Chains A and B, each alone.
Chain A
Amino acid sequence: MNSLTRRKFLLASGVTGGVALAAGAGTIGWRDVADRAGTRPPDAGVLVLVTLYGGNDGLGTLVPYSDGAYHDARPDLAYGADEVLALDDQLGLNPAMTGFKKLWDDGTLAIVRGVGYPRPDHSHFRSMDIWQTGSPDHPAATGWIGRWLDATGPDPLRVVSVGATLPPLAVGAKGTGVALPLTSFAAPAGPLGAGVRALSTVDPTDPPAQALAARATGTLLSATATFGPPLEAAAGTEADDDNQAQGASAGGQSALARQLAIVSRCVKAGVPTRVYAVSLGGFDTHADEKGTQSRLLGELDQAVSGFLTDTPGVVVAVYSEFGRRVGANASQGTDHGTAGPLFVAGAAVRGGFYGDQPSLTALDDGDLKVTTDFRSVYGTLLERVLDTEAGRVLDGTRPALDFL
């Protein structure tokens, strides 16, 4: 790859200091949207993407507890049969994942095993861009959900990310999703509000980045009208980021439950959003992995299972940019690896295992071999949650999975 295309590849991740956003983002005036809250048809599926930043260790999440090779590779990190939450006689969940175990028992948790893409990349930023652009084979300037937005209509409020900056997955060529703050906000009123509205129109002489700034102001006004009331109701508490501190060098946010509380309010308010993106960071566990990962998986478990109890109609998908090396290092951690398990949960989900569990002995230079391409998962979610033909968003078609 030459340096120009590589730069495009990394554009969205902060590594080169720029995000590829095209200039054509569509915006609706806030007056149009003010009376549109509640317009999502009740049968329209809602997808919640949970991104685990840092590279979650798949073998510590879905534990091959009865495999001797697992215990040999990780003498200090391995969980025994008496510790895991067994799903069958070979695999069990991390002890912290009691809520996920209940979802499994209820038949509403699908676990897709060995998920990755061809020629895995061990860079956090490159691998996360590959997952978020949905394009392992060649660099793409748009995210897979951004392309879904491009393919299905102009309303940016259909894609919402919770947090200050928009993740690359929500960036399209024609428009981008909305980044919602974690706190409440009322639209500016009176003369100031009139001035802000005046600034939200694109001037013919605006260079592209200035035009985007004007559009962002317009989207703010429409988003405030739609999301203001649910945000008002979801007043949160201060985040405590201790859980993720040890593995924090690769991005993501803390306080997942708080992000999901906002999603829950929005879903219940019937806003037009079809895709939500939330994240949890701290999974870069090069050292002292066991305690750190267990705390994080506990946070994930409680946040997601509580959210699904509260908001049963949605489909939640949980993924990370890669799993970790099979063998532990000398600091009771693991280095960057390849394939990992991906979770899909929700009342509509057909629980069970999908994809083959990678072998712990037939390794690829110390790494697990990928058994399931993540584009099979994306395609299934696009077609069965978002009612969109996968080929309109992803390159080529791959077999769908039966979890929905």
Chain B
Amino acid sequence: MSDVALLLRRTGFGTTGAEVEAATARGYEATVAALLHPGPDPGAAATPPPDLGGEPERPTQGADARAYKREIRARSQALALWWLDRMVRVRQPLVERLTFSWHGHWATSIQKVRSPAMMLAQNETLRAKGRGDFRELARAMVRDPALLVWLDGQRNKKGRPNENLARELMELFTLGVGHYSEADVREAARALTGWRVDRARVAAAPVPRQHDDGSKTVLGVTADLDDRGLVDLLTARPESAAHVATRLWARHGSATLPAATRTRLLAAYGPGRDVTALLRAMFLDPGFRADRSSLVASPVEYVVGVHRALGLTVPREGRAGRELLATLEALGQVPFRPPSVGGWPGGVAWLSTAATRERLTFAAAAAAKADLSGITSPEAAAHLLGVDAWTPRTLAALTGAAADPARLVTLALISPEYLVR
């Protein structure tokens, strides 16, 4: 695979031969610069966030809860389909791809939050703050209403604190497992006490009488820490820089992180915790291009990539919309519904029997809908999907299908070469 094709696949949702040609003409470094500093994107402008209205009123005791549940489900579907639509229509996909990476990092599920408006607000925070100082993102996230509901932060009170948010903040979001003690978890939970979530206003507010303002000791530092003091302490640790760098590398780099690359990434991230500088260092590092086919397209990358390559539009409502979300559910990845606070599994976990079966069904339906005029050879299919070259195995399979463009493209879409990038 050419270096530019590799870059486009790891920073977007698949790619196409036409995109690879345009980026090749522009040059690798100029493409990196454009990815990191996108101008106004007409695709994003054409897909404004849905107006979810006010939160539907929760049913009172004894009332019929079915209408409420139906309304929440309908808005959840509208929200997920909006995001998929935007991923398909943007011209500069890194912004959405990175937002999706942060969604996996600060993994929050609507299944428990039960508020599409809160999930949308979190999504906008991840997009707005996901490319700057990581501390700013973390400061916003510990006050994010959806995250507070998800990890019981709004139930964490002085006296007998609830440790849920404190533990995951250290283990998953900032430091990584093993870089803190059980005593640190208990003390950090005290720092995070005293927050309330207002569902109607989609806002979080401090509740001073439930906040523990005594002295706490976290990672050897003793102070009257509150949520901001705790986040500032955690994100200043060297372990935090390493955690952020390795998790972004796992999503946008490859399965292996060479030691020399790691050192350069940490230098770029620096004391300002600069995510854009980190990404630039990743994409320009020789280690980025060393391991060329170890990332398996996640279901969202795959489904969005197929839509982009085949020129299909995301159905925003109705049966077709529900079917698209059912496909993603069967593949194991629905936006706004990660399976746990640890996010989605990755890599070859997506190569399960069940997922392989679902991809085949989806690919056949997508190929049947698309305009495939002119796609009558394995080479044309490779250009359509931005694949550099087929193995002899796949070339033989596709050659046998050349007379039937829908079958040809279906097989190309389930080929190992398209899945692994």
Seen from chain A, the residues whose Cβ lies within 8 Å of a Cβ on chain B are 1, 3, 6-7, 10, 12-19, 21, 53, 122-126, 163-166, 178-183, 185, 188, 191-192, 194-196, 198-199, 201-203, 205-214, 216-217, 219-220, 223-224, 241-242, 244-252, 281, 284, 286-287, 327-331, 333, 335-336, 365
**Residues on the A chain within 8 Å of B340, using CB:** 14, 53, 124-125, 248-252, 281
Task: Give the contacting residue for B342; candidates A7, A196, A251; CB below 8 A.
Answer: A251
- The B119-172 residues at the A interface (CB cut-off 8 A) are 150-152, 155-164, 167-168, 171-172
**Residues on the B chain within 8 Å of A201, using CB:** 393
B347/A330 in contact, CB under 8 A = no
B293/A210 in contact, CB under 8 A = yes
CB distance from A337 to the nearest CB of B (A): 11
- Closest chain B residue to A190 by CB distance? B407
Task: Give the contacting residue for B330; candidates A164, A188, A212; CB below 8 A.
Answer: A164
Instruction: Report the Cα distance A209→B162, complex, angstroms.
Output: 42
Instruction: Report if B294 contacts A (CB, 8 A).
Output: yes
Instruction: Report if B19 contacts A (CB, 8 A).
Output: no
Task: Give the contacting residue for B352; candidates A166, A251, A287, A331; CB below 8 A.
Answer: A166
A191/B407 in contact, CB under 8 A = yes
The 10 closest A-B pairs by CB, nearest first: A17-B346, A164-B332, A251-B340, A331-B155, A179-B352, A198-B397, A18-B347, A213-B416, A203-B393, A210-B416
- Closest chain B residue to A253 by CB distance? B339
**Residues on the A chain within 8 Å of B69, using CB:** 242
Instruction: Report the Cα distance A365→B353, complex, angstroms.
Output: 44
**Residues on the B chain within 8 Å of A18, using CB:** 250, 255, 345-349
Task: Give the contacting residue for A220; candidates B341, B345, B353; CB below 8 A.
Answer: B353
CB distance from B118 to the nearest CB of A (A): 14
Contacts A6-B177, A198-B400; A333 near B339 (Cβ below 8 A): no
- Closest chain A residue to B298 by CB distance? A17
CB distance from B240 to the nearest CB of A (A): 13
Instruction: Report the Cα distance A211→B354, complex, angstroms.
Output: 17
A335/B293 in contact, CB under 8 A = no
Instruction: Report if B81 contacts A (CB, 8 A).
Output: no
**Residues on the A chain within 8 Å of B329, using CB:** 164
**Residues on the A chain within 8 Å of B294, using CB:** 207-209
Contact-residue size bin, chain B (C-beta under 8 Å from the other chain)? 35 or more
Contacts A13-B345, A335-B162; A199 near B150 (Cβ below 8 A): no
Seen from chain B, the residues whose Cβ lies within 8 Å of a Cβ on chain A are 69, 104, 109, 111-112, 114, 150-152, 155-164, 167-168, 171-172, 176-178, 182, 185, 242, 246-247, 250-251, 255, 292-296, 329-332, 339-358, 360, 364, 391-394, 396-398, 400-401, 404, 407, 410-411, 414-417, 419-420
Contacts A14-B343, A330-B162; A205 near B415 (Cβ below 8 A): no
Q: Tell me which of A206, A211, A246, A328 has the highest count of chain B C-beta atoms within 10 A of its own C-beta.
A: A206
Instruction: Report the Cα distance A378→B267, complex, angstroms.
Output: 46
- Closest chain B residue to A179 by CB distance? B352
A13/B342 in contact, CB under 8 A = yes
A-B pairs with beta carbons under 8 Å apart, 25 shown:
A12-B349, A14-B344, A16-B247, A16-B346, A17-B345, A124-B342, A164-B354, A165-B350, A165-B352, A166-B352, A178-B353, A179-B355, A181-B358, A185-B357, A192-B407, A192-B411, A195-B397, A199-B416, A212-B351, A213-B416, A248-B111, A249-B151, A286-B152, A287-B164, A331-B157
Instruction: Report the Cα distance A12→B346, complex, angstroms.
Output: 8
**Residues on the A chain within 8 Å of B155, using CB:** 286-287, 330-331, 333
A19/B162 in contact, CB under 8 A = no
**Residues on the B chain within 8 Å of A327, using CB:** 160
**Residues on the B chain within 8 Å of A163, using CB:** 332, 354
A210/B420 in contact, CB under 8 A = yes
Excluding A180-B353, A330-B160, 15 further A-B contacts by CB distance (< 8 Å) are A16-B246, A16-B247, A17-B104, A165-B355, A181-B330, A181-B358, A192-B411, A206-B416, A213-B419, A214-B416, A216-B351, A250-B341, A281-B340, A286-B151, A287-B164
Instruction: Report the Cα distance A220→B361, complex, angstroms.
Output: 13
A213/B354 in contact, CB under 8 A = no
CB distance from A303 to the nearest CB of B (A): 19
Instruction: Report the Cα distance A194→B347, complex, angstroms.
Output: 27
A125/B177 in contact, CB under 8 A = yes
**Residues on the B chain within 8 Å of A185, using CB:** 357
B331/A164 in contact, CB under 8 A = yes
Instruction: Report the Cα distance A370→B182, complex, angstroms.
Output: 17
Instruction: Report the Cα distance A222→B409, complex, angstroms.
Output: 23
CB distance from A293 to the nearest CB of B (A): 15
A195/B400 in contact, CB under 8 A = yes
A165/B157 in contact, CB under 8 A = no
B353/A1 in contact, CB under 8 A = no
B393/A286 in contact, CB under 8 A = no
CB distance from A344 to the nearest CB of B (A): 26
B391/A286 in contact, CB under 8 A = no
**Residues on the B chain within 8 Å of A16, using CB:** 246-247, 250, 346
Instruction: Report the Cα distance A141→B293, complex, angstroms.
Output: 20
Instruction: Report the Cα distance A205→B293, complex, angstroms.
Output: 12
Task: Give the contacting residue for A1; candidates B111, B157, B178, B343; CB below 8 A.
Answer: B178
**Residues on the B chain within 8 Å of A3, using CB:** 176, 242, 246
CB distance from A109 to the nearest CB of B (A): 29
Instruction: Report the Cα distance A191→B246, complex, angstroms.
Output: 44
**Residues on the B chain within 8 Å of A248, using CB:** 109, 111-112, 340
CB distance from B339 to the nearest CB of A (A): 5
Contacts A18-B255, A18-B347; A331 near B356 (Cβ below 8 A): no
**Residues on the A chain within 8 Å of B295, using CB:** 209
**Residues on the A chain within 8 Å of B296, using CB:** 209, 213
Instruction: Report the Cα distance A247→B347, complex, angstroms.
Output: 27
**Residues on the B chain within 8 Å of A181, using CB:** 330, 353-354, 357-358
B416/A329 in contact, CB under 8 A = no
Instruction: Report the Cα distance A201→B168, complex, angstroms.
Output: 42
Task: Give the contacting residue for B347; candidates A1, A17, A252; CB below 8 A.
Answer: A17
